[in-house]
Chain A
Amino acid sequence: MPELFHRKLERSTIGFVIAIIAAASVGGIVEIAPLFTIDETVEEAPDMRVYTPLELAGRNIYVREGCYACHSQMIRTLRDEVERYGPYSLAVESQYDRPMLWGSKRTGPDLARIGGKYSDFWHVAHLNNPRDVVPESNMPAYRWLGRTALKTEDLPLHLAAQKALGVPYTDEMVENAARDAYGQATPDTDFAAGVSERYGDATEVSAFDGVATQLTEMDALVAYLQVLGRLTDAAYRNTAATEQPADPAN
């Protein structure tokens, strides 16, 4: 019987194709299928806010420039990582991240909790030429970011797409996306008031690149870097112990 079955399987190429799918899919199904319901296991973080349009634009610049190739955004549950970078990352912290930027390589340090650790001024100086502030750095200089105007007219479309995928942006947020992006980088204007109103008072409104008159890609990227790890404080409330590496004294 098995002989006949195999003969048939081999005769028809299609049977063989199905066998390959059967073999290959099971691993995918077993591992992936439960993850469709993973939201049930993700921690709750009622205080978590969404990215502002300016931060989202900054995130897209981070993606565009391939920063993830050298910087992770995932603090592992290891003692040395927690002491170096802060509380380990929780799944909930990247619930609005499309794509996730956990990264796979640290040529530079982890950035999951970089927000608020340095001043805006430091970030701008560092991005303009990393070696001005960290002489040993091998990071590229990103001088043109401060010279390039941020494209804001598409931002409502970006927020609408995110909303369609399930990120809780309100219609008002979508509508005002371009204005809010401008407002977040121009404190003390009417536009700025709208940002605090829609995204909360804790949202940092600042002339990120030091120039309040023009909205540049530098503003957006620094705004994004400054919010990393600060969308929720769930990680700081989490008290689970870290894991020890095999031989920490080594």
Chain B
Amino acid sequence: MDFSHDTLVAISKSWGLFYMMAFFLGVCAYAFWPRNRTRFDRAKHSILDRDDTPWQR
């Protein structure tokens, strides 16, 4: 367990970058995945439904 300052900085600078890129791609895939479109559309309009009671089981 020898985490010197330089090692940590190096890890941050390399893996931090990869992490960021992977995350970015994941989020884009989610947002633009064709099959999610209907779900997003439904969510978008759902808050405008004029219904003021919870759904019942």
Contacts and interface: CB of A to CB of B under 8 A. Distances in A.
Within the complex, are A and B direct neighbours (CB within 8 Å)? yes
Interface of A: 2-3, 6, 22-23, 26, 29-31, 33-34, 36-38, 40-41
B23 A30 contact: no
Given A3-B35, A36-B8, A41-B5, 12 more contacts: A2-B29, A2-B30, A6-B30, A6-B33, A22-B23, A26-B19, A29-B12, A33-B12, A34-B8, A34-B12, A37-B5, A38-B5
A30 B5 contact: no
Nearest to B33: A3
A33 B8 contact: yes
SS of A interface (majority): helix
Interface string B1-16: 0011100110010001
Interface of B: 3-5, 8-9, 12, 16, 19-20, 23, 26, 29-30, 33, 35-36
Nearest to B3: A37
A134 B33 CA distance: 66
B33 A30 contact: no
B36 A6 contact: yes
A34 to B, nearest CB: 4
A36 B52 CA distance: 51
A240 B45 CA distance: 61
A188 B23 CA distance: 67
B16 A34 contact: no
